[in-house]
Structure 1
Amino acid sequence: MEEEFEFGFTEDPKFSVERYEEMIRNHDQYFFDAQAFENIIDYYIEKNDPPKALQVVEYARNQHPFAAVFLIKQAQLLMVTNRASDAFEALDKAAMLEASDPDIYIIRGNLYESMERYSEALENYEKALQLADDTDEVLLHMAYVHQNMGEYEQAVVYLKRCLEQNMENQDALYELAFCYDVLDNQEESVQFYQQYIDNEPYSYAAWYNLGNAFTKLGLFEKAIDAYDYAILIKDSFASAYFNKGNALVNLEKYAEAIEVYRQTFEYEQPNADTYCAIGECYEKLEQMDEARAFYKKSVKMDSKLADAWFGIGVTLDFEERYFEALHFYKKALDLDLSNADYWFAIADAEYKLGHVEEAEKAYEKVVELNPVDVDAWLDYSSILYEQEKLAEAIEVMTQAIKNNPDAAELYYRMVAYLFAQGDYNEALNQLELALATDPEKHYILFDYLPQLQKNKVIIDIISRYTR
């Protein structure tokens, strides 16, 4: 007959685990009280070993057949090992033993949520809300479900309730910022975080989210103040340094931004995005060697970061090394084929290398991807004009104006082309439109065709609008 030892709640968890492992080694049968079993199961869960934890659950259920807690633990473990139907079965058995345990409904809600059966998930979370003492995590889950259903207004309601329960729920703070983002409601976001900070002035997450909301409203000075408070409360908060750097870039304070970006390295491993951001600051300061060095560090860490490859190209372009620049622009383009900025840079470099046909094709791509890029339309038509393809240049301008009816520079350029083609009546019509759109920009016309400064008809029309 096997000897049975009993181990109770007096020992520490480590002792329970050692005793349990000894029992398995000896193929023996020791008795553990429920709390000891819970400790052993939690130990294996923390070690990320669900199969071992499930094995302990079996022993626990044999020794404590009426304890719902082990069926609940079992369901949890079955869920993480993707055995949903077994998990549901375990929860049904647990509910028969102890129907008022909120964990039953939380786990069942999690299961339905993972299966995208959202209304059933919400039903279970509602039940859990009525039974649980701490409800902030349940409310957070309900917010997630509403987000998944695309009901962001509703998600905001639950996130606010969650934060009323637990002001320090960081996930809820970040999710709330995300929902306001999707709803494009930064004003309300600012209002919420300011109120929140009145109650919780030391919440670094609230200051950080307030900074992000200000950034999205283009209030960069205020954003920097908010990030500074977040950093003051938690000086190792790398994301706050990074976003402060971005705000400084928006204020064109590039040297300060570099310093702030570098501070992130004290608290987290350098990463490709930060190297790329520093490279861009040096590029704006026209310190191209430093810029290139940081862009190279960036692609070394992440060869798929298109912006860094592009940045290397920009530094070479600046040094009039167009052939080399083109190589890097194309590497960036391979990673992001629909990036209009990359196509624009390629078009410009091809043109400077005298590859007119390639430049034309690239400009065509730019205006197709970004039809509101006025400069691209002007450059594209300019190439055609230089090749004396006047009709094509005028056609391109017609398309450009259709897409940008308020851009006066397009009308003035159109006037120049129409004059060059000898289509004087239409040219004068377009000139009236140009002047009506923006009379101050009439110098564009003379930049292109200086001889028109001597044309009395044109001077008279212009003076009517510029008096």
Structure 2
Amino acid sequence: MEDEYEFGFTEDPKFSVERYEEMIRNHDQYFFDAQAFENIIDYYIEKNDATKALQVVEYAKNQHPFAAVFLIKQAQLLVVTSKVNEAFAALDKAALLEASDADIYIIRGNLYESMDRYTEALENYEKALNMAEETDDILLHIAYVYQNMGDYEQAIHYLKECLKQNMENQDALYELAFCYDVIDNQQESIQFYQQYIDNEPYSYAAWYNLGNAFTKLSLFEKAIDAYDYAILIKDSFASAYFNKGNALVNLEKYAEAIEVYRQTFEYEQPNADTYCAIGECYEKLEQMDEARSFYKKSVRMDSKLADAWFGIGVTLDFEERYFEALHFYRKALDIDALNADYWFAIADAEYKLGHLPEAEIAYEKVVELNPLDVDAWLDYSSILYEQERLVDATEVIANAIKNNPEAAELYYRMVAYLFAKGDYNEALANLELALTSDPDKHYILFDYLPQLQKNKVILDIINRYTR
């Protein structure tokens, strides 16, 4: 029989690993204390080598049969290798040896959570809470379970508890923002992050989430201030630059937005979304060559980014290159067939090319996808009116009014069509409706049918409402 060698926890972890590997090579039998075995197991876990880590666990269990830690390590590794039943069995054995080890219940909770068995997951996490010294991660897991159950109020409660335990738990900060987002309570979100920042003024994540909450309430100036603080604390925070850029776009400060978007490239690889956002800014500045250049960079990086293909189309449309624009609009539509904006652009380009049947089909699709788009209804009816299809034009406007009963411009357009059709009484009835809705927009009627400016009956009715 070969000699046994003993290695203890005073040894350098690297030395323990070398001795363990030497033992395997020599088919020998060395003795390691529990800490040395833990170091060796952790070494292989860090190397993402679960198979070797599990082999070490078997040696450790043989040499230390009453140490629950190795059964717990085994369970963790079995979870990674998707051997769920074996993981449960290892945890049961560990509980017999050391029932007060919180890790047993945390791992068991993880397993139940992954199986969508939320009640059992919560039971185990609650047990772990009473045993563990540091509980912020357990509280975070409980919050995840409540999120999965759709109970966001409870999730928020546990996330706040988590942050009381550990103010620097970044995951909890982001999850809290997500929960407030889902329940659409940005005011409470803002209140929480402002209080949090009073205690932790250097938390870049809190400033960032505060900026996002302001953005969702369209308070873009305040959002920019919050993003600036996040960037001041962590100047490599690419997401804060990107969201600041978006806020500047919403304020129509396109040149400033471009500069901020470009700053993200200093801290992360350029990506398709940022190129697309820069392209859109140049488009708004009517610098179409620059815009097209960035949209092309975007689709080269991500050929499935519909907005970038669409953007190329918009730049060509602006240059009255409608036939080319259509090609790119259709590429965008291939990716996102239910996008009403893409259909609208196609309808408009087809119309400008004189393709009225194609334009009509596209407009029909726009109002089907977005029946609240008043401009689409007006344009759709207009191409029917141009073809002297007055019955069809009035039908389209009637449908538009059903979907948008508050839109005065639809009533005025209806008046114009009814006059053109010769339905004077109905036209005057609709004129009263239009004037009741918004008397200041009566000019729409004369834009469409200038000859009505000489109609005394109409002028009298208008005067009654506009005096």
- The TM-score, its normalising length taken from structure 1, stands at 1.00
- Other-structure match for 1:86: 86
Query: Structure 1, residues 274-309: CA drift from partner, whole Å, max 9, x if none?
Result: 000000000000000000000000000000000000
Letter in 2 for 1:159: L
Question: How far does residue 2 in structure 1 lie from its aligned partner after superposition?
Answer: 2.1
Q: Which residues in structure 2 correspond to 1:73-152 (within 5 Å)?
A: 73-152=73-152
- Other-structure match for 1:381: 381
Query: Structure 1, residues 26-67: CA drift from partner, whole Å, max 9, x if none?
Result: 111111110011011111111111111111111110110000
Number of aligned residue pairs: give it.
Answer: 467
Q: Which residues in structure 2 correspond to 1:15-54 (within 5 Å)?
A: 15-54=15-54
- Other-structure match for 1:443: 443
Q: Distance in 2 between matches of 1:180 and 1:321?
A: 45
- Other-structure match for 2:325: 325
Q: Distance in 2 between matches of 1:99 and 1:408?
A: 72
How much identity, in percent, do the aligned residues show? 87
The alignment partner of 1:213 has SS state of helix
Letter in 2 for 1:57: V
Letter in 2 for 1:268: E
- Other-structure match for 1:63: 63
Q: Distance in 1 between matches of 2:2 and 2:86?
A: 32
Q: Distance in 2 between matches of 1:55 and 1:343?
A: 60
Q: Distance in 1 between matches of 2:448 and 2:194?
A: 53
Q: Distance in 2 between matches of 1:167 and 1:192?
A: 13
Q: Distance in 1 between matches of 2:438 and 2:457?
A: 19
Q: Distance in 1 between matches of 2:403 and 2:153?
A: 34
Q: Distance in 1 between matches of 2:465 and 2:17?
A: 90
The yes-or-no answer on 1:281 pairing with 2:290 is no
Q: Distance in 1 between matches of 2:212 and 2:313?
A: 31
The alignment partner of 1:417 has SS state of helix
- Other-structure match for 1:425: 425
The yes-or-no answer on 1:244 pairing with 2:240 is no
Letter in 1 for 2:16: S
Letter in 1 for 2:447: D
Q: Which residues in structure 2 correspond to 1:98-247 (within 5 Å)?
A: 98-247=98-247
Letter in 2 for 1:206: A
The alignment partner of 1:252 has SS state of coil
Letter in 1 for 2:164: E
Letter in 2 for 1:321: R
- Other-structure match for 1:271: 271
Query: Structure 1, residues 382-436: CA drift from partner, whole Å, max 9, x if none?
Result: 0000011111111100110000011100000000000000000110010000000
Question: How far does residue 3 in structure 1 lie from its aligned partner after superposition?
Answer: 1.8
Question: How far does residue 80 in structure 1 lie from its aligned partner after superposition?
Answer: 1.1
Letter in 1 for 2:135: T
Q: Distance in 1 between matches of 2:383 and 2:22?
A: 83
- Other-structure match for 1:303: 303
Question: How far does residue 196 in structure 1 lie from its aligned partner after superposition?
Answer: 0.1
Q: Distance in 1 between matches of 2:436 and 2:25?
A: 92
Q: Distance in 2 between matches of 1:13 and 1:260?
A: 46
Q: Distance in 1 between matches of 2:55 and 2:432?
A: 85
Q: Distance in 1 between matches of 2:8 and 2:378?
A: 83
Letter in 1 for 2:287: Q
Question: How far does residue 124 in structure 1 lie from its aligned partner after superposition?
Answer: 0.3
Q: Distance in 1 between matches of 2:61 and 2:300?
A: 54
Q: Which residues in structure 2 correspond to 1:344-359 (within 5 Å)?
A: 344-359=344-359
Query: Structure 1, residues 141-183: CA drift from partner, whole Å, max 9, x if none?
Result: 0000000000001100000000000000000000000000000
Q: Distance in 2 between matches of 1:266 and 1:340?
A: 36
Q: Distance in 1 between matches of 2:12 and 2:356?
A: 79
Letter in 2 for 1:220: F
Q: Distance in 2 between matches of 1:323 and 1:361?
A: 17
Moved over 4 A (4+): none
Letter in 1 for 2:334: D
Question: How far does residue 68 in structure 1 lie from its aligned partner after superposition?
Answer: 0.2
- Other-structure match for 1:290: 290
- Other-structure match for 2:397: 397
Q: Distance in 1 between matches of 2:255 and 2:426?
A: 51
Query: Structure 1, residues 215-241: CA drift from partner, whole Å, max 9, x if none?
Result: 001000000000000000000000000
Q: Distance in 2 between matches of 1:290 and 1:16?
A: 60
The alignment partner of 1:372 has SS state of coil
The alignment partner of 1:235 has SS state of coil
Letter in 1 for 2:90: A
Alignment gaps of 5+ in structure 2: none
Letter in 2 for 1:16: S
Q: Distance in 1 between matches of 2:16 and 2:388?
A: 89
Letter in 1 for 2:188: E
Q: Distance in 2 between matches of 1:228 and 1:212?
A: 12
Letter in 1 for 2:411: Y
Q: What's the C-alpha RMSD, in Å, of the aligned pairs?
A: 0.5
Q: Distance in 2 between matches of 1:52 and 1:392?
A: 75
Letter in 1 for 2:351: Y
The alignment partner of 1:378 has SS state of helix
Query: Structure 1, residues 305-331: CA drift from partner, whole Å, max 9, x if none?
Result: 000000000000000000000000000
Q: Distance in 1 between matches of 2:287 and 2:148?
A: 46
